[in-house]
Amino acid sequence: MTTLANLKTIEKAAAINTSVKTGSGVKPRVPKVAIAGVSGYAGGELARLLLRHPGLEGTAPLFLGRAGETASDTVHTLESLHPHLAAIGTVPTHPIEPFHWDRLADAGIEILFLALPHEQSREWAPEAIRRGIRVIDLSGAWRLKEDSNRAVYKLHDADPDAAAELQQEAVYGCPELHRDEIRTARLVANPGCYSTSMILALAPLVRAGVVDLETGIVCDAKSGVSGAGKAPTSKTHFMYAADNLSAYSVFGHRHTGELLEQLCLTSDQIQFTPHLLPIPRGILATIYLRLKQPAKPAEIQQLFRDFYAGSPLVRLHATPQLPQIQHVVRTNFCDLGFALGDDGKRLVVVSCLDNLLKGAAGQAVQNLNVMCGWNEEEGLL
């Protein structure tokens, strides 16, 4: 039986390092990058960011379709699929090629972004690792360590033992929490959009041990329609979503497991209810909790400042100012703010981000930056 130990063709110590050596006159090496799956909203944003990333020096990623597609099945160019990415003038367009492992080998691909359905990412990531390619996966296939939390995705593994071993190696791709592990990771599991907004709001408080977990945490989060993906459904088409606001997946949203694992909480300590907003993109999460002991606003402000010192893509609002979606949309920032009750114990935290950027493609590029030794915000401001 093939085990992950037999798949380790490269050591973590050999992680790609493309850091700029200022003053040395040595030109940094440009990593060879590919994206599998550029047809969706997140895939399109990922392509846009990487095409303009200064670390790639104008070297376009390899854009690939999905397994089983032929040249006639695949949309021929990125620009025909995403017309807003067309350059000025008569600059050559970027082809989208049928996916094949030999094509990645011929191109010398070192880092592969998987912007694919969960089931396909679950299948492809082990093969990429076996071939010595590092993976940044935008799906939910590798985010969750616990079988009970991952069951919501209904994934099937051809080799359960090898998948279980790789699952334990996968690093949850939230740089603000795990940047040290991300630097040398072979498989980075990009967080979900809702979970990113809530984890970043709660991590400083939960890790400091100031939250009254017996009282519990309530997360009321609202997302734009693009969070549901590009394929239309009866709940996301215009006639349903416009002029409407609806709750869904109560007690069963697939991002809940990420909250439990990353914040080390139990299901009876936190309640997350998502809502669909009639806007294209953006998330606003309002989080209600109680503190164990009374605190002053300045103490809570300092706690957040200390936790996110060195995290350039988290912006903190001075209380009583609160974040708004309009200030984060089309950026890779997560904005955090809070209001503290007169009793010093009732705390409301508000978190805002763009679900397609900090909640998906932008965070994937942030992980690339960490893996390559670049500034975390490179290509994202």
- Angstrom CA distances, 147 to 98, 137, 170, 267, stand at 33, 19, 14, 15
Catalytic residues: 193
**Residue 364 CB-half CA count within 13 A:** 34
Sequence-ordered list of residues with C-beta below 8 angstroms from that of 317, at least 6 positions apart, any chain: 323, 335, 336, 337
Q: How do strand 187-189 and strand 171-172 relate by DSSP bridges? A: parallel
Q: Comparing C-alpha atoms, which of 361, 6, 363 is closest to residue 166?
A: 6
Per DSSP, 67 falls in state: T
Tokens 């967080």 sit on residue = 191
d(CA 134, CA 360): 18
What span, in angstroms and rounded, lies between the C-alpha atoms of 351 and 322? 8
Backbone dihedral angles phi then psi of residue 104, each to the nearest 5 degrees: -65, -40
Torsion, CA 328, CA 274, CA 363, CA 38, rounded to 10: -100
Token pair for 378: 């490179």
In 146-296, which ranges are continuous DSSP H helix? 147-150, 160-169, 175-183, 193-207, 238-241, 256-263
- The Cα 354–Cα 333 span in angstroms is 8
Q: For residue 304, what is the enclosing H or E element?
A: helix 297-307
If DSSP codes are grouped into helix, strand and coil, which group holds residue 138? Answer: coil
Bridge partners for 222 per DSSP: 275, 284
Tokens linked to 113: 């972004």
